[in-house]
Structure 1
C-alpha cells in the first residue's frame, strides 16, 4: 500500500524512471534524500489517518475566463496522459460568467458535472476513491456502452440514491479502505436517524454492492466489502387485493369503453401499468392467442422492459380477445402502430395518462365497489396485477411456477413473497380440518 501511495504522489517527471531517476543517474544529494524522507514520513502519517478522513489527491485543472460570442465564459483547462504517454491539454466549457459570477460558483459546477472524475479517470489499482467508483458504475451501467439500457424511470431514482446517499457519505474515501462494519452501522443509522424504510435501505445496499461489482469487473478494486453487510429487507407493505366480484363491480362503474377495456385487460393479463400503456395494436397477436410485451412507457417515451424476463408474451383468451376487438372497432386510433389505450386529449399521439385515470376513474369506481381505500393508501392498476396472482395461487390453485410465467418474474420467490398474500378463508378452513380430525367439529355454545 505504501509503495502505491509513493508512486501516486511522486512527481510526474520521476514516475517514468523511478523515484530518483534512471539507474545511471548520479546519487541523490543530501537535500534530495532529506526531502524524500520527509515525503515518506508524510505518506506514513496519511496512512495512519482513519479511512473516513483520508481522501484521494487528484488533479483539479485550472479555471479561466474567455470571451465568446454568447458572452464571457468559464473554461476548465487540464492535462491527461494519452495512450502513447504524452501529456495532452484539454479544455471543457463550464458555463457563462453571468451564471457563475465567482470562481467558487464555477468550481461547484465543475464538481456537479463530474469533471473531476473524468480528469482523473485512471487512479492507481486499489487507490480509487468511492466517488470515482460510483461515477464509473453510473457510466458503465447507464451510459451508451451499457449491456442493457435502463428505463427512463429507473435512472433518476438510482442517481438519487447514489449521489444523495452513497457519494455524500463515502465519496472521497478510498474505496478499498471502507470496511463492512462501517457500512452496516451507517445503513442502520439511515433507519434510526433518517427514518428510511428498511426496503429503501436494502436498495441502497444493493446499489453499493453493484458499484463494487462493476469496479471489480473493470479492475478498479479487488474486493467487495458489501458482501458481508446485512440489512433487514422484508417489506411490510401489503397491497390491496380485490375479489373477482369487486372487479366486476368496478367494470360496471366505468361507462367509457376505453376505461372498461383497459381495466379488464389489466385484470386478466397482470400486465404492469407501464407495459399496458405501451401496447400497440400490432402487439395483439390475434391468430396466436397472445399479446407481445417488448417495451414499456416511461417519462413520455418507449423504454426497455423492467428485466430481460419481462420481454415475452402473455396469454390472450378468446373472451378477452372479443372485448379488445370490440374496442378496436370503436376507437379512432385502430392502425397497427396506434396505441391500444390512447389519450384522446393528445389525439392518440400518446397513451392514456395513468395517474389521471386512476385518480379520476379507477379509485372512485373501486370505492363504489366496496374496496376499502384509506386516504394516502396506494391503489392503482398495479393492484389488479396483485389481485390476479393472489387469486390464481390461493383460489384457482394454479402452480406458482405457472403464475411466475404469467407475471414474468425473474425469480419465483418474488411471486411468492410479494404477489401472493395469506388467504384468511383458506387458513381458517385448514384449521377447521385439523379440529375435525381431532374430533372437535362442533362449536361450543
Structure 2
C-alpha cells in the first residue's frame, strides 16, 4: 500500500485501485472532523482529477452530500410538505393513484443517491409494454421531473436524473368538431328532449369548460353588460363534488355572451323559481338560488351525467359523436373560421398563451390564409381599378 498527502487530503492505492480522502470540515453537532472518501479509480491520475472536481464543487458551494433516504421516504415528504397544498384535489387524487400503483412498486425502495436516468427510462419502457398510453406515461414523467427538481432544491440530489430520461412520444390528438349546421341541428333536437339543452347551448356559444358551466352562479352573470364571469369550477374528485378555483389564472375571465343565450338563461331562471314553488321543502333552496345549473331537486349536477346525455343525443341524431370538451373546440373553430383574431379567441377560452390556441386549432389556419389571400386580391383589384 502506498499513499501521499495532496491538498486537503490524501491518495491511497489498495491492490490495483486508487482512492482519495478529503477533509470536508467539522460536524455541526459533534464538532468532529468530517472526511469524504471516494474509491475505485484505475490510476492515480483519474483519482486526482476526481478529487480536483470535488474540491471545486466544495469551493463553489455546489457539493451535495449523497442522501441516505429512499425514494419512498422522499416522496412522502414531498407530497405532505409541498405537493398536497399546491395542486387541485383532482390532480392530487391522480398523483396518489400514480404513486400507489406505478411509481412506488417500481423503485420506491431505491436510495435517492443511487437514482440514474436509466432507472426512469426503464420505468417508462416497462409501463409502455404494460399497455399504458404515452399520455399517461408523460404525466408520470412530468410528476417525477418536478419531484426530483425539488429533491435538488432540498439538497438531496446534486442534479435531476429524471430530466434526462425521455418518455415515449405522444401522437397528436385530433380534435373533433361540428360544423355550424351540425351544431344548430343538435341544439334544436336537444331543446325539445333534453333537460341539459341550456348547458350545451352555453358550451357551444361561450367555449366554457364543463366544470366552469356547472360551477356558474347567477351572480357571475351581468345581463346588462351581456357578460358571463368565470370565477370558479365544479369538479368531481376523491369521490365527491367540489367547488374550486378555475384551472389556471387566465381561466378567470369575462366572456361577452350572445343575446340569444342570455335570453334563454333568463327563461331558465324563471323555470327554476317555478320548480322551487312547486316542490317546496323538497327543493334545495340555498343551492338552487345561487347556482345556474342544478338538478330538478336543486342539487349539483355530476359532470359525467352530461357525457352520457351527449352520447345519447348524438345517437338519436346519427351525428358524429364528440366529447363534451369538443363543444369548446367547436366554439373556437367557429370563431376562427369567422375571422376572429386568435388573440381574442385565446382570451375567450382562458388559454395561458396564444401559442396554445394556435397549436390546438392549426387545422383552421389554412382556410383563414385562403380567405385572407382572397380578400387581399379583392382589395388590390379595387386599387388597380382606381389607378
Normalised by the length of structure 2, the TM-score is 0.69
Q: After TM superposition, list the pairs within 5 Å mapping 1:127-276 onto structure 2.
A: 127-143=68-84, 146=85, 148=86, 150-191=87-128, 193-254=129-190, 255=192, 258-276=195-213
Change (3 A) 1:176 1:387: farther
Counterparts of 2:88 and 2:21, CA distance in 1: 43
Deviation at 1:277, TM superposition (A): 0.5
Q: Secondary structure at the match of 2:290?
A: coil
Counterparts of 1:285 and 1:141, CA distance in 2: 38
In the other structure, the counterpart of 1:381 is 324
- 1:358-409: CA deviations, max 9, x gaps? 32x3223223344223xxxxx332110111122223x123232222211112
The gaps in structure 1 that reach 5 residues or longer are: 21-39, 46-122, 374-378, 434-445
In the other structure, the counterpart of 2:258 is 317
In the other structure, the counterpart of 1:113 is none
Deviation at 1:153, TM superposition (A): 1.9
- Tell me if 1:16 matches 2:27: no
- 1:82-112: CA deviations, max 9, x gaps? xxxxxxxxxxxxxxxxxxxxxxxxxxxxxxx
Deviation at 1:209, TM superposition (A): 0.7
Say which is worse superposed, 271-280 or 151-160, in terms of deviation: 151-160
Contact 2:68 2:112 in 1 (8 A): yes
Counterparts of 1:329 and 1:3, CA distance in 2: 82
- Tell me if 1:397 matches 2:345: no
Runs of 4+ in 1 over 4 A off after TM superposition: 333-337, 427-430
Equivalent of residue 343 in structure 1, options 289, 295, 301: 295
Contact 1:128 1:221 in 2 (8 A): no
Counterparts of 2:349 and 2:115, CA distance in 1: 39
Normalised by the length of structure 1, the TM-score is 0.61
Q: Secondary structure at the match of 2:228?
A: strand
Counterparts of 1:322 and 1:428, CA distance in 2: 35
In the other structure, the counterpart of 1:301 is 242
- 1:282-311: CA deviations, max 9, x gaps? 111223332122221123121222222222
Q: Per residue, is there more helix in 1 or in 2?
A: 2
- Tell me if 1:330 matches 2:271: yes
Change (3 A) 1:412 1:134: farther
Counterparts of 1:385 and 1:326, CA distance in 2: 23
Deviation at 1:341, TM superposition (A): 1.0
Change (3 A) 1:282 1:326: same
In the other structure, the counterpart of 1:416 is 358
Contact 2:251 2:351 in 1 (8 A): yes
Q: How large is the RMSD of aligned CA atoms in angstroms?
A: 3.8
Counterparts of 1:306 and 1:224, CA distance in 2: 28
Q: How many residues align?
A: 313
- Tell me if 1:365 matches 2:340: no
Q: Secondary structure at the match of 2:150?
A: helix
Counterparts of 1:423 and 1:370, CA distance in 2: 25
- 1:238-284: CA deviations, max 9, x gaps? 23211111111111122268422111111111111111101111111
